[in-house]
Structure 1
Amino acid sequence: MKLGLVTDSLAAYPLERAAAICRELGLEQVELGCGNWSPAPHVDLKQLTADAGARRRLLDILAENGLAISALNCSGNPLFPGEKGERDRAVAADTFLLAEQLGLDTVVMMSGLPGGCPEDRTPTWIVTSWPPETEEILRYQWQAAVPVWRGLAARARDHGVRHIALEFHGWQLVYNVETLRRLQSEVGGDLLGVNLDPSHLFWMGADPLEVAKALADCIYHVHIKDVRLEPAAGQNTLLDTKGVLEYASRSWNFVTPGSGHGADWWRAFLRTLRECGYDGALSIEQEDYTIPLEEALKKAVSLLRQVLPS
């Protein structure tokens, strides 16, 4: 397994400096955001897909710093009703094309979420079977989602993408093992798998080690990010709608690996990944707003080097 970084974590820096920081940290890989929910700080998708010279410059900058691309990321909501969903799907299509042009086979995405009925203008996330109308909403959402994902899968295959790594997250149709398996069965083949990010599993109440074992056949990418449960959870539950910058009053926070779960847990997580046959990227996603960026990245790299299986 190789250490890498989601370069959105270095969005304040141009590519040259971001790549140098990765080199200084001793990282080997980068995951590049291409749009949708990513600000795409280091990727001009339209320029790169149209200009072979721009692609060569991108690869040269990375190579000069000893870096390879682990995956492209275009996480967004391809199932959003109306024009927004069309725009997100267009970014995904261009990301598939760029992956082909760069010789990459893995794209990280989220499943997205439709509205609750044909007239809805915004998505609706159902996490309970009551009141009774929730079941009707879920039936509609799967009926709406499957054709879209079959189309996305066909487009990805046309561009040689072998793995779409779906990240489990709230406000998504696919957020756990069961829902991923359902979408896999509807779309067919082995294109769809998981981008295993333990942080979201923590706050949603799952066990990332058990998730890894259940999906050992389709762990296509891994994000490294931790969650710390805060005292406010005792009164307010883990269903928290406060913004991530309101960390002092939240029920849980994204934190640097080791700040929510200690080195023993991360050692067990990486050992489980190895036992599942995973030997890909460990892509650090820095979203800890409680400490300075440089300190967070150094702590994450240090912990991972400490717990990496030999």
Structure 2
Amino acid sequence: MKLGVFTVLFSDKTLDEMLDHVASKGIEAVELGTGGYPGDAHCKIGELLDDETKQKEFLEKFSSRGLMISALSCHANPLHPQKQIAEEADAIFVKTVQLASKLGIPVVNTFSGCPGDHEDAKFPNWPVAPWPNEFQEILKWQWEEKIIPYWSEKARFAEEHHVKLGLELHGGFSVHTPATLLRLREACGPAIGANLDPSHMWWQGIDPVEAIKILGRENAIHHFHAKDTIIDQPNMNRNGLTDMTSYSDMRNRAWYFRTVGFGHDTKVWADIISTLRLYGYDYVVSIEHEDGLMSIDEGFTKAVNNLLPILLKESVGNLWWT
């Protein structure tokens, strides 16, 4: 395994400044935003996509520092009911897959998106209960008319470009659990997989270790984010899992994100790392920092320090004792 970082947290730094900084911390891989919610501070598709010279110069900046690019990320909502928003997200996605293919980057991360509830809707509709029955009708319409048709086409497109898709299981989007990811994968093919982030499993009441087992059995983990979550049980009792309290109002939220090791202890994270290997994931563990109690650099540094001792870096080899 390699320790990586999603570089959006260093968007205030130039590409060279960012690379020097993360390399000095022991990072071996970077995940770059290309647009959408992550922005494109370190990877300008318009400058790179059709210029082989710039592509070579770009890749040299990473290899010269002993770094690899684990994924390009363009998280957005390509299924948004407002046509302009959906088309912008789709255009970024298509160009990101094309660029990943040209640069030899094996994974593109994004969200599944979430449609509205009918053709003339203005906003996404995320059904989270099976009753009243119209919620089931909405969900059926979304999957049959929007989600599966769109991602069937995009999965074929990704396969043609030899790129895997890592959909982040994130609340508010149609694919947000192991079950919904596997449903889409079954309908669209193995190019669809998870960019699995345990922080989003915890707040939904899902054990990340068990999520790894469920998805790992199907070889459906394409990328992995390292971010923690703390559950504030008194606030959970009051507000529930689908807490709409602002992320900035941490005292009153049912849950909030923490840097690795500050929501769950080292043993829990060691179990996560071990289960990833047990189920065949030996790729990059990419740190994502969204901790409201720590500065960017302190949260990032503590995540690095907590993960490096438990990361499994060497191949197993022969089981010498058997």
Is this a same-fold pair by TM over 0.5? yes
Q: What is the aligned partner in structure 1 of residue 20 from structure 2?
A: 20
Q: 1:243 to 1:62 in 2, by over 3 A?
A: farther
Q: Tell me the distance in 2 between the aligned counterparts of 1:260 and 1:153.
A: 35
Counterpart in 2 of 1:198? 198
TM superposition shift of 1:247:
2.4
Aligned counterpart for 2:251 among listed residues 248, 251, 275: 248
Per-residue CA distance 1:129-167 (angstroms, 9 max, x = gap): 011110110111002211111121122122221x11111
Match of 2:213 in 1: 213
Looking at structure 2, the residues matched to 51 and 243 of structure 1 have their Cα atoms a distance apart, in angstroms, of 43
What 5-or-longer segments of structure 2 have no aligned partner? 315-322
Check the 8 A contact 2:70/2:106 in 1, yes or no. Answer: no
State the TM-score, normalizing by the size of structure 2.
0.92
Q: Deviations over 1:89-133 (max 9, x none)?
A: 110000011011101221112111111111211110001101111
Contact 2:78 2:113 in 1 (8 A): yes
Distance 1:6 1:266 in 2: 18
**Residue 62 of structure 1 aligns with which residue?**
62
* Aligned CA distance change for structure 1 residues 243 and 15 (closer, same or farther; 3 Å): farther
Q: CA RMSD in A?
A: 1.3
Whether 1:224 and 2:231 are equivalent positions in the alignment is no
Give a deviation string over 1:213-233, Cα, whole Å, max 9, x none.
011121111000000112422
**2:134 is the alignment partner of 1:146:** no
8 Å CA contact 1:247, 1:290 repeated in 2: no
Structure 1 consecutive aligned stretches of length 4 or more whose deviation exceeds 3 Å: none
Aligned to 1:259, which of 236, 242, 262?
A: 262
- For 1:78 and 1:16, how far apart are their aligned partners in 2? 31
Inter-partner Cα distance in structure 1 for 2:242 and 2:177? 16
Q: Name the counterpart of 2:320.
A: none
Which residue in the other structure is 1:285 paired with? Answer: 288
2:251 alignment partner AA: A
Secondary structure of 1:233's partner?
Answer: helix
In structure 1, the partner of 2:186 is: 185
| Deviation at residue 72 of structure 1 after TM alignment | 0.8
Q: Does 1:298 align with 2:301?
A: yes
* Pairwise CA distance, 1:293: 1.6
Q: Secondary structure of the equivalent of 1:211?
A: helix
* Pair 1:108-2:100 in alignment: no
| Counterpart in the other structure of 1:71 | 71
Match of 2:236 in 1: 233
Does the aligned pair in 2 maintain the 1:244–1:253 contact within 8 Å?
A: yes
Sequence identity (%): 37
**3-state SS of 2:49 partner:** helix
CA contact (8 A) 2:230 2:256 kept: yes
Q: Which residue of 2 aligns with 1:44?
A: 44
The DSSP-based 3-state class of the residue aligned with 1:50 is coil
| Structure 1 gap segments, 5+ residues each | none
Q: Which amino acid aligns with 1:100?
A: S
Q: How many residues align?
A: 308
Counterpart amino acid of 1:290? L
Q: Report how far residue 281 of structure 1 moved.
A: 0.2
* 1:47-95 alpha-carbon deviations (Å, 9 max, x no partner): 1102223222321222232211011111111111212111111100000
Query: Residue by residue, what CA displacement relative to the aligned partner does 1:16-65 show, whole Å, maximum 9, x if unpaired?
Result: 11101111111100001111111111111111102223222321222232
Output the CA distance in 1 between the equivalents of 2:97 and 2:275.
30
Is the CA contact 2:109–2:165 (under 8 Å) kept in the aligned structure 1?
A: yes
Letter aligned with residue 201 of structure 1: M
Q: Distance in 2 between matches of 1:210 and 1:261?
A: 16
Residues 1:6 and 2:9 are matched in the alignment: no
Q: Which residue of 2 aligns with 1:156?
A: 158
SS at match of 2:246: coil
Deviates more, 1:269-278 or 1:74-83: 74-83
